[in-house]
Amino acid sequence: MISALLVCSGLMVGLTTPRAHAEDSAGDNLRVLFIGNSFTRFNNLPRMVRRLLDADGVGPAARVRFETRTGATLRRLWQSREVRTQISSGGYTHVVLQGHSLRPANHPEELAEYARRLDALVDEAGGHTVLYATWARIRHADDVPPELASPAAMQARIRTVYGELGRELAADVAPVGDAFARAGATASEITLYRDDGIHPTPAGTYLAACVFYRVLTGRAASGLSYRPWPMRRATAARLQEIADGE
């Protein structure tokens, strides 16, 4: 279990679509809770989003807490009293829900059920739910039905499941997996996956952070100066373009 509290200048890590409430919240102090697993924790995704926002000079101080559990599903996160208490009493403006990457394929009903339960807590506490739509694995996908064994088929399922759930809950969806798919099709020279074919490299996390920036602010990520060391400027620029849908 990993828990952390960050209070940073310019840190806003609630992923939204470019709608009115996203634009309105850009001038407010955001209080954001990330709950998830290693897809959130690896390479410190929240910190990368903060650095992108710092580079743009967006927003005042914000408070971000994250709770991660290795391999966690939304069911396991719901069962955590600590997580439920954080949602209910933390005063968060945004709660990002990041479930297990295989659940859209092998247990979509469970994913939806516990997303509903967590969303209800968020709503009761006056916050806004963000669904983190992750990427398809390129290896070790043995636990999915045969028809979803290919990354393309799995990504289509992720898109469908999270899209439907987002509409049902009136929640925003962070389409990070779709950005990974675009990168694989147009910039295969950039390595987004670690050797396990599951977890992100720093470049993969940076791409996710650029998606977060774009959807949160409603502005293009292209042209932002921040890039993690030692990433080349050209690589960062290409990932920004991919996050922007180019």
More confident site: 18 or 212: 212
Contact between residue 169 and residue 127 where contact means Cβ atoms under 8 Å apart: no
Q: Note the pTM of the prediction, 2 decimals.
A: 0.86
- Element (H or E) spanning 106, and its range? helix 103-106
Q: What is the CATH number of domain 2-178?
A: 3.40.50.1110
Of the candidates 66, 43, 49, 55, the residue with the CA atom closest to the CA atom of residue 13: 49
Locus of tokens 């954001």: 32
Quick check: 63 and 31 in contact, CB under 8 A? yes
What is the b/e burial string over 40-78, where b = at least 16 CB atoms within 10 angstroms of the residue's CB? Answer: bbbbbbbbbbbbbbbbbebbeebbbbbbbbeebbbbebb
The pLDDT tens digits for 148-173 are: 989 999 999 999 999 999 999 999 99
Query: What's residue 94's pLDDT?
Result: 81
pLDDT tens digits, one per residue of 182-202 = 999 999 999 999 999 999 999
Pairwise pLDDT comparison (175 vs 218), residue with the higher score:
175
Query: pLDDT tens digit string along 212-223?
Result: 888 777 789 999
- pLDDT exceeds 50 at position 23: no
* Domain map (residue ranges) of the chain: 2-178
C-alpha–C-alpha distance, residues 109 and 214, integer Å:
30
Length of the chain: 246
Rg (CA), the chain: 17
Token pair, residue 111, equals: 């994913």
Instruction: Please give the Cα distance from 138 to 154 (Å, whole number).
Output: 10
DSSP letter (8 states) at residue 194: -
